[in-house]
Amino acid sequence: MEKRVLIIGLGLIGGSLALNIKNTYTEATLVGYDINNQQLQLANTLTVIDEIAPSLQEGAEQADFIFIAVPVAQAEQIIEQLATYSLKSDVIITDVGSTKEQIIKKAELLTNKGWQFIGGHPMAGSHKSGVTAARGHLFENAMYVLTPTETVTDEALKQLKLLLEGTKANLIVLSPKEHDKLVGVISHFPHIIAASLVHQAEHYQEENELVKQLAAGGFRDITRIASSSPTMWRDILLHNHDSLLHMFEHWFKEMEHVREMIKQKDASKIYDYFVKAKQFRDQLPVRAKGAIPSFYDLYVDVPDYPGIISEVTGYLAEEEISITNIRILETREDIYGVLRLSLQTEEDRKKAKDCLENHSYATFIAD
């Protein structure tokens, strides 16, 4: 039986969901809506969707499934609009936002009318954006969290899981509160810390201009996530403020503990502190996808002579391997330099590694 699936928001996540569902369930008709008409038309041209919704209202009222694939602040506005429409009695609505409690609260506008709303958060992403970056395999092996409340029927949850089965994601069910605490710890709070470290370096630069030059290496790498969208992170922090404020109390205690160890010059405790951190960190899954998009970096030792970068990228182009970013980490006369190539997926990184090693380049992957 044909099902009409409306995707609201045709960026990376919305486009990838559309591609996945379209390619997996031939009986589904994928309908797209986006306030960015250029993205919408592009999605249609690239056959990411089957149809363009004439309007949000018309697309929503004809839909069996509705995916709200827009940032969390916009998602609330979409929910308010949907609540004014005459949706199908058995419609199933979900979102893809990285915070859940506030969205679920807003979704009471829908559930109070008897419609089924199931919060969702696919923990997958890319360093590219827009519908052109959409990939049908984006969610493969990623965690995809669903946060149904007591108003959600078993049948509705079953139907949504079935629709998402083709993503090959690991579907897990959490309460909205539990979800927000978890992503706060492993995603939201780390973004705050990264931004804070950058601010600290900027302040210190006023005393010593060497800061920017020295920060070009490892410091730049460990604070990568501070370059994420400011608008997105503003909205996420405002949505997840309760969990984050609670985490600040723990963080202050943690930093005070470290400060005291250093103050007391307690070598044994300082050593143990880093040992325990190393042990826990080393036990984390290496290849699994988590809440923060992975960086699929490949490091390549290259001799310092003109044209070396075009030579490396040329070999990869021959194998149709796409690079998302390239950076020279070290180039000094008469020694090998290092290129850091950022790729889209683990599969692309492996192909790039094999390709370059076949051309006698030494490569390595940092843990």
Instruction: Give the residues across from 93 on adjacent strands.
Output: 66, 117
Q: Do residues 47 and 190 make contact, with C-beta atoms less than 8 angstroms apart?
A: no
Whether 80 has a pLDDT exceeding 90, the answer reads yes
Tell me what the mean pLDDT of segment 82-111 comes to.
Answer: 96
Measured CA to CA, the distance from residue 343 to residue 312 in angstroms comes to 14
Where are the CATH 3.30.2130.10 domain residues in the chain? 296-364
Q: Indicate whether 332 pLDDT > 50.
A: no
Fold of 179-282: 6-phosphogluconate dehydrogenase C-terminal fold (1.10.3660)
**pLDDT for 268:** 95
CATH of 296-364, one of 3.40.50.620, 3.40.640.10, 3.30.379.10, 3.30.2130.10: 3.30.2130.10
Gyration radius (Cα) of the chain, Å: 23
Burial class (CB in 10 A: 0-12, 13-18, 19+), 279: exposed
With a cut of 90, say whether residue 119 has pLDDT above it: yes
Instruction: Work out the burial of residue 255: count CB atoms within 10 Å of its CB; fewer than 13 is exposed, 13-18 middle, 19 or more buried.
Output: exposed
Using an 8 Å Cβ cutoff, are 111 and 151 in contact?
yes
Residues 4-29 have a mean pLDDT of 91
pLDDT over 60 at 326, yes or no: yes
User: Phi/psi class of residue 86: alpha, beta or left (left: φ > 0; alpha: ψ in -120 to 50)?
Assistant: beta
Task: Give the integer Cα–Cα distance in Å for 129 and 351.
Answer: 23
Spatial neighbors of 30 by CB under 8 A, at least 6 apart, are: 5, 7, 18, 21, 22, 48, 49, 50, 51
How far apart are the C-alpha atoms of 49 and 11, rounded to whole Å?
Answer: 12
Residue range(s) occupied by CATH 3.40.50.720 in the chain = 3-174
- Using N-to-C axis directions, what is the helix angle for 267-282 and 241-263, rounded to 10°? 140
Residue 68 · residue 92 · CB < 8 Å: no
Q: Which amino acid does the sequence have at 76?
A: E
Q: What is the pLDDT of residue 51?
A: 95
pLDDT of residue 188: 92
Q: Find the mean pLDDT for residues 273-284.
A: 90
User: 311: how many CB neighbours lie within 10 A of its CB?
Assistant: 14
Residue with tokens 């990939």: 135
What is the share, in percent, of the chain residues with pLDDT greater than 90? 54
pLDDT band for position 60 (50/70/90)?
very high
The boundaries of every CATH 1.10.3660.10 domain in the chain are 179-282
The pLDDT confidence band at residue 256, using thresholds 50, 70 and 90, is: very high
Phi-psi region of 295 (alpha: psi -120 to 50; beta: other; left: phi over 0): beta
CATH fourth-level superfamily of 3-174: NAD(P)-binding Rossmann-like Domain (3.40.50.720)
Tokens representing 198 are 């950058």
For residue 294, the model assigns a pLDDT of: 60
Cα–Cα distance, 192 to 230 (Å, whole number): 11
Look at residue 5 and tell me whether its pLDDT is greater than 90.
yes
pLDDT of 108 over the 80 cut: yes
Looking at residues 95-124, what average pLDDT do you find? 95
Structure-block tokens of residue 255: 């930093």
pLDDT of residue 331: 43
Predicted confidence (pLDDT) at residue 334 exceeds the cutoff of 70? no
In this structure, what are the phi and psi dihedrals at residue 46, rounded to the nearest 5 degrees?
Answer: -80, 5
State how far the Cα of 60 lies from the Cα of 58, in Å rounded to an integer.
5
How much is the pLDDT for 345? 74
Report residue 27 as tokens. Answer: 């009986």
Q: How many other C-beta atoms lie within 10 A of the C-beta of residue 326?
A: 14
